[in-house]
């Protein structure tokens, strides 16, 4: 039996959380997360300073983090993805310490290697039993997989589970009770509407539809769709449109995939339920169908971030990945991809699993519009390197496909099968014929952050806007 | 003189406002100002020249429109501006 607290004050006293503390959080409640803000409120109340925070992702709802930043209470911030007002604040003001942008696999690796030393991990626990066993598939704020929180729970010095649902007994917990030190029962840990904020649909935008069709043709031409192959699309609109093509292809050609990995949506669940894919390896559920499926279907498997993408884990799922479909804010002539900032050096996200899957997948395909408004996708040099060009194979846009010269095999296969391949330089010039050549302006102030690859090696730096 | 507004503030479009002025004035607000302001201003100037309108204030609120969109919006704005102010000119 674990001690169950009714308020965070007692936990802060018990866990001795003070200035200089390192605290971690995971983001499965996404833009509905109330756990981070509840902890932030305590940190503000106790006037703690010099904090090192390790949220796996930051969303617009994380106003408590903004308040802590405005007070200068955060020294280091280590995360995989940032959106909303925190991104704007960091771009303007930077940080007294360092912003470290990791990948999902890199975050797990750093926790296990104790490069990220966490004093207290806060687990957003949709349901907990008296032994501290945690699952994400039950409870008022059920969110499905808790994949990004598992290493936090195993490797932090102290682990606090916040919950709004205490059950008698939880079978097959995602986080076993032995890792949980304290349970805190609060009124609610998350808002359902915000938890589902990742919900997306296959794009219906004509440009996106065309890109998805070309990407599918490319995958087919490269002979990548065969019994036992695997793929990952994530939840972007164009990626899901590619997924829809794959779905139809598998059904019509009686092909069965071995697995789909990563973030899971209803569209992937449907493929599992139709027997078109053998297993779903799920680090994050994007909608209620995915949560239900994870609860009911034994072939829908919750995995930890380490089992998903940690480069030091020989059993990681994505090392067997055949094809990954990824997005890009910018791509440069060396095929480096930026999903961390836009062309004007505003933080717009971060790697998530981008650089992990790009490195491990047999074929990495970037899908993105050649122009967004007037801003060209392809630049001489990306503003920020999220994923190095050595791990990127193909770029599919609405006006053509480019393939990294390193992948002569893929280029030859396309040419043999009548699929046009352009050089990335030609694609850039095609864009410039519409947009003109953008005048280069450097938006780089003070360096305050670093983008790490999944092994913790620096790929690029982050700069304030001025 | 009556001012004229055409276009929208949708992505990839621009909104053009033409109003009376003794001299040519061009005000540009653009989400891609730093990268493309010279090119956008050039398109506006060229279109005015081609249409023979010289004394006007142009406000271009640009959301990343391409040249042909800006030119089309300008031509429509100029035509409407002339129509609205026919009696006065």
Q: In whole angstroms, give the CA distance from residue A1 to residue A437.
A: 66
d(CA A187, CA A37): 13
Whole-number pLDDT of residue A356: 98
Give chain B positions within 8 Å (CB) of A442: none
A327 vs A395: CA distance, rounded Å:
9
What pLDDT band is residue A165 in, cutting at 50, 70 and 90? very high
Asked whether residue A420 is assigned to any structural domain, the reply reads yes
Q: Residues in chain A, how many?
A: 466
Higher pLDDT, A465 or A193: A465
A193 pLDDT band (50/70/90 cuts)? Answer: confident
- Residues A381, A332: contact at Cβ < 8 Å? yes
Supply the pLDDT for residue A199.
67
Q: Could you tell me if B31 lies within 8 Å of chain A, comparing CB atoms? A: yes
CA B40 to chain A, closest CA, distance in angstroms equals: 10
What local confidence, expressed as pLDDT, does residue A266 receive? Answer: 96
Cross-chain residue pair B31–A373, CB shorter than 8 Å: yes
Contact B35 A373 (CB under 8 A): no
pLDDT tens-digit profile of A93-118?
999 999 999 999 999 999 999 999 99
Segment A59-68 shows an average pLDDT of: 98
pLDDT at A192: 79
pLDDT digits (tens, 9 = 90+) for B39-89: 999 999 999 999 999 999 999 999 999 999 999 999 999 999 999 998 664
To the nearest whole Å, the CA of B48 is away from the closest chain A CA by 20
Predicted local confidence at residue B88, as pLDDT: 62
Residue A363 has what pLDDT? 98
Is A454 within the bounds of a domain?
no
- Within a domain: residue A427? yes
Do A132 and A35 fall into the same domain? Answer: yes
Least Cα separation, residue B59 to chain A (angstroms): 19
Domain assignment present for A50: yes
Are A441 and B63 within 8 A, CB to CB?
Answer: no
State the ipTM, two decimals. Answer: 0.91
Angstrom distance (rounded) from CA A281 to CA A441: 43
Please determine, for residue B4, whether its predicted confidence score (pLDDT) is greater than 80.
yes
Q: How many CB atoms within 10 Å of residue A79?
A: 22
Does A439 contact B31 at a Cβ distance shorter than 8 Å?
Answer: no
Map out the domains of chain B with their CATH numbers. 4-84 (3.30.230.10)
Nearest-Cα distance to chain A for B86, in Å, is 35
pLDDT for A203 beyond 70? yes
Residue A258 lies in a domain: yes
User: Residue A127: which CATH number?
Assistant: 3.40.1080.10
Does residue A299 share a domain with residue A162?
no
Task: Write down the pLDDT at residue A178.
Answer: 97
Residues of B in contact with A440 (CB under 8 A): 35
List of E strands, A207-349 = 230-232, 257-264, 277-285, 300-302, 323-326, 330-332, 337-338
Q: Is B67 on the interface with A (CB under 8 A)?
A: yes
Q: Are strands A134-135 and A127-129 parallel, antiparallel or unpaired?
A: antiparallel
Res. A75: pLDDT tops 80: yes
pLDDT digits (tens, 9 = 90+) for A229-249: 999 998 899 999 999 999 999
Q: Which residue among B36, B63, B66 sits closest to A438, beta carbon to beta carbon? A: B36
Across A292-309, average pLDDT: 98
The residue segments making up the domain with residue A144 are 4-196
pLDDT > 70? residue A212: yes
Is B60 near chain A, with CB under 8 Å? no
Nearest-angstrom CA–CA distance, A191 and A34: 7
| Mean pLDDT value across chain A | 96
Q: Are residues A247 and A138 in the same domain?
A: no
Domain C-terminal end among A172, A196, A220: A196
Considering the domain architecture, whether residues A118 and A250 belong to the same structural domain is answered as no
Evaluate whether B41 touches B26 at the Cβ level (below 8 Å): yes
User: Residue A336's pLDDT band (boundaries 50, 70, 90)?
Assistant: very high
CB contact under 8 A, B32 and A439: no
Question: How many domains does chain A fold into?
Answer: 2
pLDDT at position A58 over 80: yes
DSSP-based three-state secondary structure for A85? helix
- Do A424 and A280 lie in a common domain? yes
């Amino acid at each position: 039996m674990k001690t169950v607290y009714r308020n965070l004050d007692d936990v802060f006293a018990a866990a001795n959380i003070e200035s200089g503390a390192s605290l971690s959080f995971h983001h499965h409640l996404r833009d509905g997360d109330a756990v981070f803000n509840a902890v932030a409120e305590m940190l503000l109340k106790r006037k703690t300073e010099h904090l090192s925070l390790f949220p796996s992702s930051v969303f617009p709802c994380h106003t408590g983090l903004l308040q802590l930043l405005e007070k200068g209470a955060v020294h280091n911030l280590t995360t995989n993805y940032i959106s909303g007002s925190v991104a704007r604040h960091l771009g303007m003001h930077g940080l007294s310490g360092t912003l470290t942008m990791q990948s999902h696999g890199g975050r797990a690796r750093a926790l296990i290697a104790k490069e990220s030393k966490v004093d207290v991990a806060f687990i957003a626990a949709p349901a907990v039993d008296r032994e501290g066993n945690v699952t994400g598939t039950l409870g008022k704020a059920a969110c499905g997989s808790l994949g990004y929180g598992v290493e936090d729970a195993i490797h932090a010095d102290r682990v606090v589970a916040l919950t709004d649902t205490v059950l008698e007994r939880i079978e097959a917990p995602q986080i076993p009770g032995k890792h949980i030190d304290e349970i805190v029962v609060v009124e609610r840990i998350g808002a359902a509407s915000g938890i589902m904020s990742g919900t997306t649909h296959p794009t219906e935008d004509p440009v996106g539809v065309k890109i998805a069709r070309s990407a599918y043709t490319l995958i087919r031409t490269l002979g990548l769709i065969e019994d036992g192959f695997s793929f990952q699309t994530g939840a972007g609109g164009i990626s899901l449109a590619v997924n829809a093509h794959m779905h139809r292809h598998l059904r019509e050609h009686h092909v069965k995939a071995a697995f789909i990995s990563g973030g899971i949506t209803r569209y992937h669940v449907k493929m599992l339920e139709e027997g078109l894919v053998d297993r779903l390896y799920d680090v994050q559920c994007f909608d209620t169908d995915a949560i239900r499926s994870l609860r009911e279907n034994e072939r829908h498997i919750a995995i930890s971030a380490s089992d998903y993408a940690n480069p030091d884990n020989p059993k990681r799922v994505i090392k067997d990945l055949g094809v990954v479909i990824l997005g890009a804010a910018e791509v440069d002539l060396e095929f480096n991809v930026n999903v961390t900032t836009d062309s004007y050096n505003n933080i717009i996200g971060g790697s998530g699993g981008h650089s992990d899957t790009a490195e491990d997948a047999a074929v990495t395909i970037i899908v993105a519009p050649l122009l967004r408004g007037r801003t060209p996708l392809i630049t001489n040099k990306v503003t920020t390197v999220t994923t190095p060009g050595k791990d990127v194979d193909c770029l599919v846009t609405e006006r053509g496909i480019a393939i990294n010269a390193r992948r002569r095999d893929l280029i030859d296969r396309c040419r043999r099968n009548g699929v046009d391949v352009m050089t990335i330089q030609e694609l850039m010039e095609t864009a410039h014929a519409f947009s003109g050549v953008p005048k280069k302006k450097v938006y780089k102030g003070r360096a305050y952050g670093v983008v790490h690859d999944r092994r913790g090696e620096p790929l690029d730096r982050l700069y304030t806007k001025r | 003189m009556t001012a004229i507004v055409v276009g929208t503030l949708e992505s990839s479009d621009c909104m053009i406002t033409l109003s009376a002025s003794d001299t040519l004035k061009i005000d540009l607000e653009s989400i891609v100002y730093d990268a493309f302001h010279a090119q956008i201003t050039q398109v506006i100037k060229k279109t005015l020249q081609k249409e023979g309108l010289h004394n006007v204030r142009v406000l271009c609120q640009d959301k990343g429109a391409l040249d042909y969109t800006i030119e089309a919006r300008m031509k429509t704005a100029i035509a409407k501006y002339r129509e609205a102010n026919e009696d006065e000119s």
